[in-house]
């Protein structure tokens, strides 16, 4: 049986980006990419119907990661990029049945209706809170409560964590989910000090380079502007798929991986086993665990220890005249303290105008997450009732939607819960015992598309020059 150069298992952004960074579009050798489903993209997908364009999962990436922009350039999609509208900058948080703008400046914090006076004062005390030097793990919630107070943590940080991870801030690890925040505390002594230092440094750099002021991110999240492609995010994976076509084998669900001499024997459902020198697991860790359970039980258990949160995306299309809110903004998040079932809603057509036909608008509302897994058991009708009862009063929606789509992600987003760093290290150590076997994907160093592209780049360099690139 011939031994092939390598196999990438999983055709989501991680597997596709790895194939790209390995240069397989130009020089495929005998590499292959096997994808279990009959399409590429994993959680990236877009439906187009009735003039609506609806992303199933992610709706874009932040334009701050040079490697993602480099990839976009290299696959010839730079001209198709679509940055979020300027008008979508404002973000809202729900409190007591009303939308409140997220306060991004000290005067806005003073006047916001989201916090009481004591909670506001506590935020302003942040620069005087001593940095924690202990490097042991800490939850996102505990970090935020320690630095900006419990009220602000519940109001801003908990819903932000549901929005990004579908997670619960008290369960997720700060250094694993938001390593930049931990660095800000360690390096500068606190978040405000770090922001001031970084702003000064940026201004100095801009002055030195003579460049005009660049748009930066808001206080609600990491810097960068949400960016997608005209008509939908799947443009990215479709283009990558076209370029990598000779490698791609769809509907190839890997069942088993074993060692055979110097190579790996891989068996997919309904196929004869094949041999590869390199095997890269670019699939969810629970799938990887299943493939490896006979060959290395300890590694399979370690992979299986990374939990995933379920998430439901409900897209609705409405006639503009049926909604009284002006919809100038990005959308809103709902803190757990408000006892509503929706996690938040994105005003998709305010962000990217071409996602709804003229005179119509599109929302994408998220439910579930690690804090409410039973959402997966709701029928379509129950989901509608929930959304109708929670969204209609908030936005002044006067009529039922004219377009709907529901996407259920049973194991949607990996959760970097407390202890994630140790779990990740264990997987890396166990994998290192198996030359030619590697893991990549959103379960390790970040769930954003940028993180996936970056990790794939690092692995591609390592595969090409094993000695030169640190793990
Ligand atoms: C609802 C939702 C909204 C999100 N929003 C954003 C956002 O706005 N911005 C952002 O940056 N990120 C967002 N994310 C996160 C981001 O989409 C993911 O982290 C990223 O797409 C994961 O890519 P991946 O390739 O690592 O994994 P996946 O996309 O999960 O791909 C893994 C692939 O492996 C395949 N596979 C599984 N088992 C096997 C097997 N046995 N054999 C062969 N193939 C197999 C799967 O079919 C799949 O195609 C969102 C995620 C979700 C769920």
Q: Which CATH number fits domain 104-219: 1.10.3720.10, 1.10.630.10, 1.10.3110.10, 2.60.40.10?
A: 1.10.3110.10
Which is it for the CA torsion 29, 34, 38, 40, positive or negative? negative
Query: Nearest residue CA, atom 2 of ligand 1?
Result: 57
* Ligand 1 environment, Cβ below 6 A: 9-15, 34-37, 42-44, 57-61, 253-254, 282-284, 287, 311, 313, 409, 412-413, 441-442, 447-449, 452
Which one of 7, 8, 10 would you pick to mutate in the ligand 1 pocket, going by the greatest count of ligand atoms within 8 A of its CB? Answer: 10
Of the pLDDT bands very low, low, confident and very high (cuts 50, 70, 90), residue 216 is very low
CB atoms within 10 A of CB 244: 22
Which is the closest atom of ligand 1 to the Cα of 13? Answer: 25
Which is the closest atom of ligand 1 to the Cα of 10? Answer: 34
Overall residue count recorded for the chain in this entry: 471
Common-topology check for domains 60-64+79-87+308-414 and 104-219: no
pLDDT digits 0-9 by tens, 269-283: 999 999 999 999 999
CATH assignment of 60-64+79-87+308-414?
3.90.660.20
Mean pLDDT of the chain: 94
58 C-alpha to center of ligand 1: Å?
A: 9
Residue 204's pLDDT is 86
Of the pLDDT bands very low, low, confident and very high (cuts 50, 70, 90), residue 196 is confident
Query: Nearest residue CA, atom 39 of ligand 1?
Result: 36
Please check the confidence at residue 470 and state whether its pLDDT lies above 50. no
pTM for this one?
0.94
CA distance 254 to 273: 10
Pairing type for strands 331-333 and 91-95 reads parallel
Residue 64's pLDDT is 93
Please check the confidence at residue 35 and state whether its pLDDT lies above 70. yes
Query: Nearest residue CA, atom 7 of ligand 1?
Result: 58
Please check the confidence at residue 441 and state whether its pLDDT lies above 80. yes
Of the pLDDT bands very low, low, confident and very high (cuts 50, 70, 90), residue 198 is confident
DSSP designation for 397: B
CA distance 100 to 110: 13
pLDDT digits 0-9 by tens, 288-330: 999 999 999 999 999 999 999 999 999 999 999 999 999 999 9
421 C-alpha to center of ligand 1: Å?
A: 21
Query: Nearest residue CA, atom 29 of ligand 1?
Result: 42
CA distance 274 to 31: 12
Residue 213's pLDDT is 57
pLDDT digits 0-9 by tens, 89-140: 999 999 999 999 999 899 999 999 999 999 999 999 999 999 998 889 999 9
E-only strand ranges, 354-397: 360-368
- Is 139 in a helix, a strand, or coil? strand
153 C-alpha to center of ligand 1: Å?
A: 28
CATH assignment of 3-42+234-307+417-464?
3.50.50.60
Which uninterrupted H or E stretch holds 345? strand 342-346
Residue 466's pLDDT is 63
Q: Where in the chain are the domains? A: 3-42+234-307+417-464, 60-64+79-87+308-414, 104-219
Residue 468's pLDDT is 44
Please check the confidence at residue 402 and state whether its pLDDT lies above 80. yes
Query: Nearest residue CA, atom 49 of ligand 1?
Result: 42
CA distance 156 to 152: 6
Residue 224's pLDDT is 87
Of the pLDDT bands very low, low, confident and very high (cuts 50, 70, 90), residue 212 is low
Mean pLDDT calculated for residue range 437-456? 98
9 C-alpha to center of ligand 1: Å?
A: 13
Which one has a higher pLDDT value, 21 or 2?
A: 21
Please check the confidence at residue 229 and state whether its pLDDT lies above 80. yes
Which one of 411, 442, 443, 458 would you pick to mutate in the ligand 1 pocket, going by the greatest count of ligand atoms within 8 A of its CB? Answer: 442
Which one of 41, 167, 283, 348 would you pick to mutate in the ligand 1 pocket, going by the greatest count of ligand atoms within 8 A of its CB? Answer: 283
165 C-alpha to center of ligand 1: Å?
A: 13
Which is the closest atom of ligand 1 to the Cα of 287? Answer: 38
Query: Nearest residue CA, atom 14 of ligand 1?
Result: 58
DSSP assignment of 75-102 equals TT-GGGEEEPPGGG--EEEEETTEEEEP
Which is the closest atom of ligand 1 to the Cα of 268? Answer: 42
- Is 4 in a helix, a strand, or coil? strand
Which is the closest atom of ligand 1 to the Cα of 34? Answer: 43
79 C-alpha to center of ligand 1: Å?
A: 25
Mean pLDDT calculated for residue range 437-448? 97
Burial 276-315 (b: 16+ CB within 10 A, else e): bbbbbbbbbbbbbbbbbbebbeebbebbbbbbbbbbbbbb
Mean pLDDT calculated for residue range 61-75? 97
Query: Nearest residue CA, atom 13 of ligand 1?
Result: 58
Which one of 58, 69, 292 would you pick to mutate in the ligand 1 pocket, going by the greatest count of ligand atoms within 8 A of its CB? Answer: 58
């Amino acid at each position: 049986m011939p031994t092939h150069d390598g196999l990438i298992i999983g055709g989501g952004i991680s597997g596709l980006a790895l194939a790209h960074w390995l240069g397989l579009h130009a020089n495929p050798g005998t590499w292959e990419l096997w994808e279990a489903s009959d399409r590429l993209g994993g959680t990236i997908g877009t439906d187009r119907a009735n003039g609506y364009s609806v992303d199933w999962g992610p709706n874009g990436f932040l334009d701050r990661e040079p490697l993602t922009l480099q990839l976009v350039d290299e696959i010839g999609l730079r001209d198709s990029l679509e940055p979020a509208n300027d008008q979508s900058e404002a973000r809202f948080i729900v409190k007591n049945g009303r939308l409140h703008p997220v306060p991004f400046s000290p005067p806005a914090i003073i006047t916001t209706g989201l916090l009481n006076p004591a909670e506001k004062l506590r935020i302003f005390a942040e620069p005087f809170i001593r940095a924690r030097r202990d490097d042991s793990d800490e939850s996102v919630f505990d970090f935020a409560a320690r630095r900006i107070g419990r009220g602000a943590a519940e109001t801003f940080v908990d819903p932000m964590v549901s929005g990004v991870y579908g997670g619960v801030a008290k369960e997720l690890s700060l250094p694993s989910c938001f390593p930049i925040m931990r660095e800000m505390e360690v390096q500068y002594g606190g978040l405000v000090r770090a922001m001031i230092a970084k702003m000064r440094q940026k201004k100095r750099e801009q002055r030195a380079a003579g460049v005009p002021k660049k748009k930066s991110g808001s206080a609600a999240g990491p810097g960068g502007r949400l960016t997608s492609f005209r008509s939908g995010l799947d443009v990215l994976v479709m283009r990558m798929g076209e370029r990598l076509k000779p490698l791609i084998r769809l509907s190839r669900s890997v069942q088993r991986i074993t060692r055979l001499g110097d190579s790996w024997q891989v068996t997919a459902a309904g196929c004869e086993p094949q041999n590869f020198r390199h095997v890269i697991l670019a699939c969810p860790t629970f799938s990887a665990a299943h493939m490896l359970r006979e060959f290395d039980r300890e590694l399979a258990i370690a992979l299986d220890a990374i939990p995933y949160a379920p998430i439901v995306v409900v897209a609705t299309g409405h006639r503009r005249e049926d909604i009284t809110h002006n919809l100038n903004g990005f959308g809103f998040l709902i803190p757990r303290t408000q006892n509503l079932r929706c996690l938040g809603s994105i005003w998709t057509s305010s962000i990217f105008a071409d996602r709804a036909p003229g005179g119509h608008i599109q929302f994408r509302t998220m439910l579930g997450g690690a804090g409410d897994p039973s959402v997966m058991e709701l029928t379509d009708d129950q989901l509608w009732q929930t959304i109708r009862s929670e969204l209609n009063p908030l936005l002044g929606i006067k009529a039922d939607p004219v377009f709907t789509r529901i996407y259920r992600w049973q194991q949607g987003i990996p959760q970097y819960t407390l202890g994630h760093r140790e779990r990740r290290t264990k997987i890396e150590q166990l994998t290192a015992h198996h030359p030619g076997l590697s893991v990549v994907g959103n379960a390790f160093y970040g769930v954003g598309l940028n993180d996936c592209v970056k990790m794939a780049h690092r692995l591609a360099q390592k595969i090409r020059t094993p000695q030169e690139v640190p793990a």
